[in-house]
Amino acid sequence: MSILEKYNRRVEVANSLLCVGLDSAFERIPEPYINHEYPLFTFNRWIIEQTHAYASAFKPNMAFYEARGDRGMRSLRMTLEYLQLHHPDILTICDAKRGDVPSTSEAYASAIFDWFGFDAVTLNPYLGKDALQPFLSREDKVCIILCRTSNPGSGELQDMLVNGQPLWQTVAHKVANEWNDKQNCMVVVGATYPDELKQVRQQIGDMTILLPGIGMQGGEVEQAVRAGVSDSGNGLIVNASRSIIFTDDPEAAARSLRDEINLYR
């Protein structure tokens, strides 16, 4: 079973397009978890247990683990081991936005896919296809390429016109038509840009889109889901991080967002 099939099956079983972003910033972790040896892991374990029934994917952002040094990295590895053991049917995405020259991308691919054991990784397209080849050639894994990111200033470069179309659209076209030899690519489009999202959906057929930016970043669920779903009402990974994990009741927050997303599929 490919990773994409694993995700699609989970979407069906859990009736959910929700991805819970494990952006476990140490400074925001609640009291009961901070005095453990691996606070990020113990917090994640709690979040996973609270939210897994409503989640089809978990997406830790590497930055919050690196910020805690080697202990943080160990916490992330423990999180992956825990997910593989208890919830092997849920997609795991490493939000790392990597992109480096080929010999170095090889090392990153080894870190993310092999040492940590993630199913998927987010990648930055600026260096071109050859730079990402060590990721792209892993047909057992999934590569999720940034097209239009969710931050307010993402248009600064991404909106620049290249042969009459914005760079984000050029990247989406490349990913769909030139970088996807192994049928293992997806794209990132921020929920904060529903118009662009709609255009990407028209452009890439039923390819899966990772949609960050719901919740704290201000993306609206109805607009984003309507603009982003494929014809079959699937093909989306809708991520929310802080608005789930740093609430008093993560389970209720995850369930409520799962249900809200389903209203508009």
Active-site positions read 97
Q: Which residues have a Cβ under 8 Å from the Cβ of 152 and sit 6 or more positions away? A: 192
Scanning 46-54, 155-163, 244-252, 253-261 for contacts with a copy of itself by CB under 8 A, the matching segment is 155-163
How far is Cα 184 from Cα 137, in angstroms, rounded to an integer? 9
Q: Which residues have a Cβ under 8 Å from the Cβ of 3 and sit 6 or more positions away? A: 91, 119, 120, 140, 141, 142, 184
Rounded to a whole number of angstroms, the minimum distance from the CB of residue 135 to a copy of itself is 12
Amino acid at 185: C
Sole binder of a copy of itself in the list 16, 51, 61, 169 (CB under 8 A): 61
The answer to whether 64 contacts a copy of itself (rule: CB under 8 A) is yes
111 — phi, psi (to 5°)? -60, -50
Sole binder of a copy of itself in the list 4, 47, 131, 236 (CB under 8 A): 131
Q: Which residues pair with 151 in a beta bridge?
A: none
The answer to whether 252 contacts a copy of itself (rule: CB under 8 A) is no
Sole binder of a copy of itself in the list 146, 204, 253, 257 (CB under 8 A): 146
67 — phi, psi (to 5°)? -65, -20
5 to 34, contacts with a copy of itself by CB under 8 A? 23, 25
Ramachandran region of residue 134, left (φ > 0), alpha (ψ -120 to 50) or beta?
alpha
x/- letters, 76..115, toward a copy of itself (CB under 8 A): -x-----------------x-xxxxxxxxx-xx-xxx--x
Catalog residues that contact a copy of itself under the rule CB under 8 A: 23, 25, 61, 63-64, 66-71, 73-74, 77, 95, 97-105, 107-108, 110-112, 115-116, 124-131, 146, 149-158, 160-163, 167, 170-171, 174, 212, 217
